[in-house]
Chains A and B, each alone.
Chain A
Amino acid sequence: MTRFAKNSLGRMVPAEVPGVGPFDPYSGPFQRINSVHGIVGASVRLRTVDRHGSKIAASLEQAIKNSGLENGMTISFHHHLRNGDAVMPMALETLKNMGYKNLTFAPSSIPDAHDCVADYIKCGLIGRLYTSGVRGRLGGLISSGEAGIPVVIRSHGGRARAIEEGQIEIDVAFLAAPTCDKLGNISGSSGPSACGSLGYAITDATYAKHVIAITDNLVDYPVARNISIPQYRVDQVVSVNSLGDPKKIATGAARITRNPVDLKIAHDTFRLMKVSGIIAPGFSFQMGVGGASLAVSVYLEEYMKKKGIVGSFGLGGISGHMSRMLEEGLFRALFDVQSFDAVVTESVSGNQNHVEIDSSWYANPFNAGCIVHNLDCVILAALDVDVNFNVNVLIGNDGVLRGASGGHCDTAAGAALSIVVLPSFRGGVCSIKDSVSNVTTPGETVDAIVTERGILINPLRQDLLALARGAGLPVVDIGDLKSRVEKLTGVPEQQERAGGEVVAVVEYRDGTLIDAVYRPER
């Protein structure tokens, strides 16, 4: 019988996840961070290789044999190749054929295309799942409760912390390497499968007990430019024909939306940023590539140009639009943990101020300074929100897992101004709930929510509220907007959640449980 605890948001979370271990309930965004100073984290396993030897393994199978991987151990992957990635399926299939069972599958996230992971759970290869998100058939399998394995969902910063704290002990990291030499120097920004930054992989390579680089672009030693991961972190190199589909790895730059609802949201978001006074010299910024987020940057770009404002840095998942703003001199630097399109890849390799950063540097709360803690403003998307400003980015209106935690809670906690953008209703359902089906990001770290029908400001930010009202922005009360929208959409039946079967737990970035995912009632 699982014991439950009520966390400080009133969510019932298990005190222990069988097969994983005990968890503390969430108690506030900075509670645990403030008490962590001085504790000792994970150790790095030392190993040496022969002088003048070779790291080239004849095959992936051979490399796996050499690595000493055993049943029950933990394997990791990165998701920088996005939906073009063929490395996760290739490695999982090889492991299955080699007869492995009950591995802990701990990728940085799982691309949408990888429904096949569901099959590797069903056949017993994957016995535990640690990820940032799950979607599609995999999301369906886990939500149904039929996966029968423990699932822990972590943010990008939370995953880096869990690795450095020792909760995720990576036994073998399988790293897709767009360019690699025979001793394992890896670059992400060149080669037929170039993807730009390898930010998440850098952390894995640093802490994994054994690292296998898998490349389709084995070049003469040395890879000189833009080394993402240095040779001293890499144990073996495997050459394969292809890492995946280059068209899906290096996608074209996202277009600015013409959706009028998104544009309205973007414009009001920009106006809120402006009245907050945060767009000043030295300004730092992160945004997503969703319709409304990306459109905010168009207004921002024009404004910064006109006013001659030079920002300090752009952060995050970097889009083509951000790299253009770097080129235009609107930011002095970009810190890039994950590149979103082909234009960015060129910027990573060509622009010295476009800096590839690892996930710990990006968002790990338990180090001496991750960049999100220095961020002025972040624009975030959401699936839905509740009247306490809590944000869900994981579970759809049908109760099924269909999203990723990403850097959402990390940046919301870190940024001085965190703004969630979302349409007031989607698919005929109001986006504002009494209580979200899942809290991914706590409302106490969200400053404002911008919808096409008004701007909602967290009562914790009376200063911002006064500025927005003073400037005549369309500020509305979150409860009022909810009722107004529900007049259009009707009120959906609330799903029963507590007491049901837990199919996954959601960690806050500090390692405490912010929520659990329950099997939806059928």
Chain B
Amino acid sequence: MIAEHAIILAVVLPLLAAPLCILLGRGFLSWIAASASVWTSFGLALHLLNRVLHEGTIRYALGGWEAPVGIEYRLDAAGALVMTVVTAIASIVLPYSYTSVRREIDEHKHHWFYACLLLCFSGLLGITVAGDAFNIFVFLEISSLSTYVLVSMGRDRRALTAAFKYLIIGTVGATFYLLGVGFMYQMTGTLNIEDLSQRLLAMSGDGVTPVYETTTIRAALSFLTVGISLKVALFPLHVWLPNVYAYAPSVVSAFLSATATKVAILIFLRVFYTIDGKAIPFEALPLAQTLVPFAVAGAVVASFIAVYQRDVKRLLAYSSIAQVGYMICGIGLATAAGLESGLLHLFNHALMKGTLFLAIGCVVYRVGQTRLELLRGVGREMPFTAASIVIGGASLIGVPLTAGFVSKWALLTAVLAEGRWVIAVLVIVSSLIAVVYVAQILHVMLIRKRPVGSERLREAPLWMVVPTFLLALSNLWYGVVDGRAADAARAAAAALIEEVAR
């Protein structure tokens, strides 16, 4: 019974827990409620992933109304993978958040914070299971609206302006998406993504051109691409991201960087692979030729900008933009290997960026700010935090034995399999620049001496260090020991490509 409804429970539980948090009204109690629902969702997500990998796509008709009349929830391998990432990161972030939030956010806002976090979480999960294009929009807005609130809770007042700009840009992105979906609906009369993909292949009114080649659909695809690119922060539509990550509370930065852009990438996959089938956007529009150059340019340029950042969180934010470039590059190649590398990097990047932002959160807890030159020698006095940053940084560069290496290898092989040498070289250039900015952080935090007269720091509290360090170790675990993430990514890629072949 429960297994049957697992797909909806995973989404609805946090949605219900959010008002509960507000009703509980106390930071501690709402933290308990939030943790309980997030961990339950994580358990359900693992269960679902397992089922999807063995039995294929799961369908669930909401309220018993079958599609296309009813709203369908539908979880394929890619969705299940992203769902697992989101829930896993959330379950690691939550234990951490209790201590961190008490330091960074006023006492009377705590239950609001957890409520928003749960709403955002629920929205992100909703996107992974949504079976129709309009539902994706609704869930996207649920998660985005709560994100704006979360970001604005940062201590620095610049968090407010960052949140406001994010709100403007995010809403524009979502509205573009809505418009694109509207055009699609106009041409096909359905919103269910599977119906859409079939009806797009049908002939249009004049009986000569298929629907997907009409101008309307092209316009729709253009709006969708731009709208989602805004959410993904694909270069050059990334301007909102650095400030958001830099001034949001540490927990939020970690959570967002590891999940929000990932889910946006899933929407990308939905639009270009599930809804349309690869053939349509990649033939009707020169998508591979447009996306991949932007992605690669983003990887190089954003890395380059990261080198010049004086604030650690901003630096990591730019690095995120670069890493998103890798993922989109893999996806834009439109081959099974490319998709696999993109999905795998999505998973691995969640691990590494999560680690780094959590570790920076530990530093913030003790030092109180994130300007690079004020963090001199911090790592010497906070060994576990420092170790996490070293591992996370190594993974970001793509040093062997870390998760980052596995996905970089996958991306490079995928790129070279297409014979795109220039891209391969640029990807490598970008990772060389990554060496520079990671080295900068490590140099400041580990090698430089603490300013004379500064008081001795202690390691961050146990509740923060343990999750951080566990996440850091998972970077090594998935780099050396465990190939299951890659297997899941491969299965997801295969499933998406198979839908194309259909």
Q: Do A and B share a complex? A: no
| B residues with CB within 8 A of A | none
